[in-house]
């Protein structure tokens, strides 16, 4: 390989697409580093504060596509105050200033303003794809800028964002010359949209394959849209409170019959039973179904629908499907790979699924490897059975609504059950646990979870040992997030070098003190150790023995961040 000219090497590297593999390639030798870096087009930055935009641009001048993640994961659950950070503007501004030919931008948990959206739309002539997941800070005006100015836009995908809605005119901003759309998802928008503009847009987008509407698109418009876009592969529908009149129903059925390519279905904030039954037509071909936004759909309707979905690989559903419904899933969906069962009621005692549903899934679905399961109760016996049935789990997230509830039958902690999971599932990469858990479960995890990369812990453990077992044992750990556990400074400071091998550590409502955090920050200059201080009493010179209520630390090449708000101290 040493004798090949650079162009040949570059061509070979083109076949190496995953970021991890390209990182490995770049570490072989200096010439490979140079070639790989200059030719890499797609970059993933898991923590926007780990590196500066300038440095990324310097290393990857050919950058066309970037993914950036901002806030810590627990921000999803309101544990991080707003304005904590995660602003994308400096990145866009740097890209624009350096004339980067940016084409794709994907953001998760970041703050993006309308000004920033406008800057994007004006700075990058070939901009093709904008994907925003769990972001905020913008309004439909920013979307209007993107629609107006990005002539070659292929993808506008808004997932679960908090968008200020100034009503529907942004859709009309797509010029008549814009015919390149492949994917349009505005399901998270709360307001009305211009329905006529939407219909026209769909009519002039022959490449449209993914369309997710919001609640404001009524059934008769949906039916017209489907008639214009029979090649859709991914469909997200609106909200249908009333059953349609027979004429609309028949038209809907006709339209759905033409949609032979739909493989993914979502939406349904409300779904009257007869309306839902029209969709049974496309169920046999579905590989992905998301009904998790519809608390009003009865279990019986859900079960009826599922029975038609024999090819399902991914299912997101609410727990009102019940254990019975999960048994239907287990017997019907033999190709199922991922399932998420969300609570329709966040209160203890009201979840409609138990360990019975989980065991049924593990037994009936041989390809199941990823699960998120909110339930009322769990038992060690069930978890042990699940571990035996399904050693192929890669992601296992269990949330018992009462977070310290022990085994529902024996009243023992759930240590043995989760121990069995990590022992059996040798490829487990992500784990979340709940229920009564002692230090013992961490001993098991440290011993057996060799591939574990991310773990979320809440209300678990008894002493520092718990966290120590974890840090000692899990060699591939990248993200650790802990809340309400009795882990203190001894655990935090046991192996400070470990944190440089990880992306980040979050600890809230634990026993670490300000002193412990300061000590860590002093020993490890390559880490940003941030304390989020939400009370007035504490200040930086406060007693070091005071507990640090929220600490977030991450490795970084960029030094302390300059945009930290008042309530965030970098030690």
What is the footprint of other proteins within residues 61-80 (CB under 8 A)? 74, 76-79
Taking the CA atoms of 308, 310, 316 and 321 in sequence, report the sign of the dihedral they define.
Answer: positive
Which x/- pattern over 206-225 shows residues binding other proteins (rule: CB under 8 A)? ---------xx-x-------
Choices 12-20, 121-129, 286-294, 496-504; region in contact with other proteins by CB under 8 A? 286-294
Question: What's the closest the beta carbon of residue 179 comes to other proteins, in angstroms?
Answer: 31
Identity of the residue, 103 or 464, whose beta carbon is nearer to other proteins in the bound complex: 464
- Expressed in angstroms, the distance from the first to the final Cα of the chain is 47
Minimum Å gap between C-beta 347 and other proteins is 5
Is 45 an interacting residue with respect to other proteins (CB under 8 A)?
no
Segment 170-209, which members bind other proteins (CB under 8 A)?
188, 190
Q: In the numeric block, which tokens belong to residue 315?
A: 């299912």
For residue 463, the 8-state DSSP code is S
Cβ-based nearer residue to other proteins, 147 or 421: 421
Are the beta carbons of 152 and 181 closer than 8 angstroms? no
Calpha distance 426→208 (Å, rounded):
40
Angstrom distances, CA of residue 536 to CA of 137, 539, 568: 26, 8, 13
Residue with token string 């899933």: 329
Q: For residue 552, which of 507, 503, 499 has the smallest C-alpha distance?
A: 507
* Both tokens assigned to 286: 């579905």
**Within 10 Å of residue 119's Cβ, how many Cβ atoms?**
18
| Contact assessment for residue 115 and residue 145, using Cβ atoms and an 8 Å cutoff | no
What is the closest distance, in whole angstroms, from the C-beta atom of residue 240 to other proteins in the complex? 8
Q: Which is nearer to other proteins, 9 or 143 (CB)?
A: 143
Task: Tell me which residue of 278, 289, 273, 231 sits closest to 250, measured CA to CA.
Answer: 278
Given 468, 504, 533, 556, the residue binding other proteins (CB under 8 A): 468
Among 34, 55, 298, 522, binds other proteins (CB under 8 A): 298
Position 119 contacts other proteins (CB under 8 A): no
Residue 447 interacts with other proteins (CB under 8 A)?
yes
CB environment 289-326: b (16+ within 10 A), e (fewer): bbbbbbeebebebbbbbbebbebbbbbbbbbbbbbebb
Q: Please report, for residues 222, 345, 419, 428, 552, the alpha-carbon distance to residue 396 in angstroms, rounded to integers and kept in the order given.
A: 36, 21, 12, 8, 24
> Scanning residues 526 to 565, which ones bind other proteins (CB under 8 A)?
545, 547
Among 98, 113, 194, 274, binds other proteins (CB under 8 A): 274
Compute the least distance from the CB of residue 72 to other proteins, in Å. Answer: 12
Residue 259 or 320: the one with the smaller Cβ distance to other proteins is: 320
| Radius of gyration of the chain measured on its C-alpha atoms | 25
Strands (E), 297-394: 314-318, 338-342, 370-375
Tell me whether residue 114 or residue 327 sits nearer to other proteins (CB atom).
327
Contacts of residue 24, Cβ cutoff 8 Å, sequence gap at least 6: none
Q: Please, are residues 232 and 262 in contact by the beta-carbon 8 Å criterion?
A: yes
Nearer to other proteins, 302 or 553 (CB): 302
160 binds other proteins (CB under 8 A): yes
Closer residue to other proteins in complex, CB, 307/547: 547
User: What residues between 313 and 342 interact with other proteins by CB under 8 A?
Assistant: 320, 322, 327, 342
Q: Between 265 and 384, whose beta carbon lies closer to other proteins?
A: 384
> Using CB under 8 A, which residues numbered 347 to 386 contact other proteins?
347-352, 355-356, 359-360, 374, 379-382, 384-385
Is 459 a binder of other proteins (CB under 8 A)?
A: yes
Q: Which of 405, 479, 555, 561 binds other proteins (CB under 8 A)?
A: 405
Stretch that binds other proteins, among 58-66, 113-121, 250-258, 270-278 (CB under 8 A): 270-278
- Which of 193, 443, 507, 520 touches other proteins (CB under 8 A)? 443
Output 60 or 74, the one with its CB closest to other proteins: 74
Say how many residues make up the chain.
Answer: 571
Shortest separation between residue 349's beta carbon and other proteins, angstroms:
5
Torsion of CA 444, 449, 452, 455, to 10 degrees: -10
486 is an interface residue for other proteins by CB under 8 A: yes
Residue 35: other Cβ atoms inside 10 A: 19
- How many residues touch other proteins under the rule CB under 8 A: the total is 105
The reply to whether 343 sits near other proteins by the rule CB under 8 A is yes
Q: Which residue has the tokens 């049924």?
A: 360
Q: Is 450 exposed, middle or buried (0-12, 13-18, 19+ CB in 10 A)?
A: middle
Nearer to other proteins, 40 or 405 (CB): 405
Select from 483, 521, 527, 555 the one that contacts other proteins (CB under 8 A): 483
User: Contact between 436 and other proteins (CB under 8 A)?
Assistant: yes
**Does residue 480 belong to the site contacting other proteins (CB under 8 A)?**
no
Based on the shown chain and the rule CB under 8 A, indicate whether residue 293 belongs to the binding site for other proteins: yes
| Alpha helix positions (H), 132-218 | 140-149, 195-203
């Amino acid at each position: 390989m040493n004798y090949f000219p650079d162009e040949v090497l570059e061509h070979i590297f083109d076949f190496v697409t995953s970021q991890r593999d390209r990182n490995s390639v770049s570490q072989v030798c200096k010439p490979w580093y140079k070639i790989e870096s200059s030719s890499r087009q797609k970059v993933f930055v898991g923590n926007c504060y780990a590196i500066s935009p300038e440095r990324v641009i310097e290393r990857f001048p050919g950058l066309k596509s970037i993914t950036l993640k901002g806030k810590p994961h627990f921000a999803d659950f309101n544990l991080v105050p707003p304005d904590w950070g995660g602003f994308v503007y400096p990145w866009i501004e740097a890209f624009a200033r350096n004339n980067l030919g940016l084409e794709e931008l994907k953001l998760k948990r970041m703050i993006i303003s309308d000004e920033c959206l406008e800057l994007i739309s004006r700075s990058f002539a070939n901009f093709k794809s904008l994907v925003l997941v769990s972001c905020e800070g913008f309004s439909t005006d920013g979307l209007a800028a993107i629609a107006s100015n990005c002539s070659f836009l292929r993808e506008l995908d808004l997932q679960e964002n908090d968008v200020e809605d100034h009503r529907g005119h942004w859709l009309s901003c797509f010029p008549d010359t814009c015919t390149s759309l492949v994917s349009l998802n505005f399901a998270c928008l709360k307001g009305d949209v211009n329905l006529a503009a939407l219909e026209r847009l769909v009519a002039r987008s022959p490449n449209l394959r993914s369309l997710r509407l919001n609640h404001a698109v009524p059934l008769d418009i949906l039916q017209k849209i489907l008639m214009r876009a029979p090649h859709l592969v991914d469909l997200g529908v609106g909200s249908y409170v009333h059953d349609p009149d027979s004429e609309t129903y028949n038209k809907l059925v006709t339209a759905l019959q033409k949609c032979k390519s739909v493989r993914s279905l979502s939406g349904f904030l409300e779904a009257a039973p007869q309306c839902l039954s029209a969709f049974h037509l496309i169920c046999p071909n579905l590989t992905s179904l998301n009904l998790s936004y519809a608390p009003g759909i009865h279990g019986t309707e859900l079960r009826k629908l599922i029975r038609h979905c024999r090819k399902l690989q991914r299912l997101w559903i609410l727990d009102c499907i019940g254990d019975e419904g999960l048994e239907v899933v287990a017997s019907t969906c033999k190709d199922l790979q991922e399932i998420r069962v969300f609570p329709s009621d966040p209160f203890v005692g009201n979840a409609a699924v138990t360990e019975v549903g989980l065991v049924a899934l593990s037994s009936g679905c041989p390809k199941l490897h990823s699960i998120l399961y909110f339930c009322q109760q769990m038992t060690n016996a069930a978890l042990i059975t699940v571990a035996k049935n399904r050693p192929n789990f890669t992601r296992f997230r269990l949330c018992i609504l009462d977070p310290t509830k022990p085994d529902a039958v024996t009243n023992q902690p759930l240590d043995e059950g989760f121990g069995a999971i990590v022992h059996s599932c040798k490829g487990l990469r992500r784990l979340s646990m709940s229920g009564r858990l002692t230090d013992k479960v961490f001993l098991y995890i440290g011993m057996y979870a060799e591939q574990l990369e991310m773990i979320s812990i809440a209300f678990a453990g008894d002493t520092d040992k718990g966290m120590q077992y974890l840090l000692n044992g899990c060699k591939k750990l990248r993200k650790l997030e802990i809340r309400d556990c009795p882990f203190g400074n001894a655990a935090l400071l046991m192996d400070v070098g470990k944190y440089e091998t990880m992306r980040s550590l979050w600890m809230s409502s634990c026993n670490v003190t300000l002193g412990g955090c300061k000590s860590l920050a002093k020993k490890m200059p390559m880490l940003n150790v941030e304390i989020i201080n939400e009370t007035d009493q504490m200040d930086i010179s406060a007693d070091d023995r005071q507990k640090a209520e929220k600490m977030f630390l991450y490795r970084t090449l960029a030094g302390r961040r300059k945009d930290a708000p008042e309530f965030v101290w970098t030690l």
